[in-house]
């Protein structure tokens, strides 16, 4: 059983499990699935300033903080006890393309040549981590939610704003992967 848990699950098992989270949250507690709202709740808890955006009863949404804590705890447990000891297999074409940008040391999920403290202070690393992080935060706030909230929860509730946001997320991802990322990697 432990070996089954350690291996990556196919999409036809993992996808429905994630998808069933939406009706479970709606049926059990009349809650919507989404992660980005937890940042707002955290700010409302920790910074009770006189800012209108943070003036609401965040205690009604404390379940969301437990949900996010469970995700973090699950990640720590999975990394600590269920990690697959085999190296990550990366397609040869992707390796060749990344090598063209000078990224040759790929030993984990994130290449250290892009995502490390040393690379943070390079132009490429600054764009990847700081500017990219700002755009993700700004985009999720501007769209009124993140990809999980819109694409999983909003679409299943047939919300038109979620359909528009999800289409924009995918278009933005295609533009990023095919136009902007190659430019940043060539810096």
At residue 111, the pLDDT reads 86
Task: Tell me if 61 sits within 8 A of 41, measured CB to CB.
Answer: yes
pLDDT tens, N- to C-terminus, the chain (187 residues):
777 777 778 889 988 888 888 888 888 888 877 788 888 888 888 876 778 888 888 888 888 889 889 989 999 998 888 877 777 788 899 889 888 888 888 877 788 888 889 989 999 889 989 999 898 888 888 888 888 788 888 888 889 999 999 999 999 999 999 999 999 988 8
What CA dihedral angle connects 75, 79, 84 and 88, to 10 degrees? 80
At residue 48, the pLDDT reads 67
């Amino acid at each position: 059983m432990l070996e089954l848990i350690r291996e990556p699950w196919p999409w036809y098992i993992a996808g429905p499990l994630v998808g069933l989270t939406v009706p479970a949250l709606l049926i059990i507690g009349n809650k919507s699935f989404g992660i980005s709202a937890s940042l707002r709740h955290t700010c409302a808890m920790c910074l009770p300033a006189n800012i209108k955006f943070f003036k609401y009863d965040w205690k009604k949404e404390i379940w969301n903080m437990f949900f996010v804590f469970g995700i973090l705890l699950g990640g720590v447990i999975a990394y600590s006890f269920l990690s697959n000891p085999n190296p990550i297999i990366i397609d040869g074409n992707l390796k060749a393309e990344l090598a063209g940008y000078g990224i040759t040391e790929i030993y984990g999920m994130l290449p250290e040549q892009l995502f490390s403290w040393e690379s943070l202070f390079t132009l490429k690393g600054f764009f990847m981590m700081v500017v990219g992080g700002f755009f993700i935060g700004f985009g999720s706030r501007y769209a009124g939610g993140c990809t999980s909230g819109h694409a999983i929860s909003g679409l299943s509730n047939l919300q038109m704003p979620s359909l528009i946001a999800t289409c924009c997320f995918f278009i933005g991802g295609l533009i990023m992967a095919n136009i902007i990322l190659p430019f940043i990697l060539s810096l």
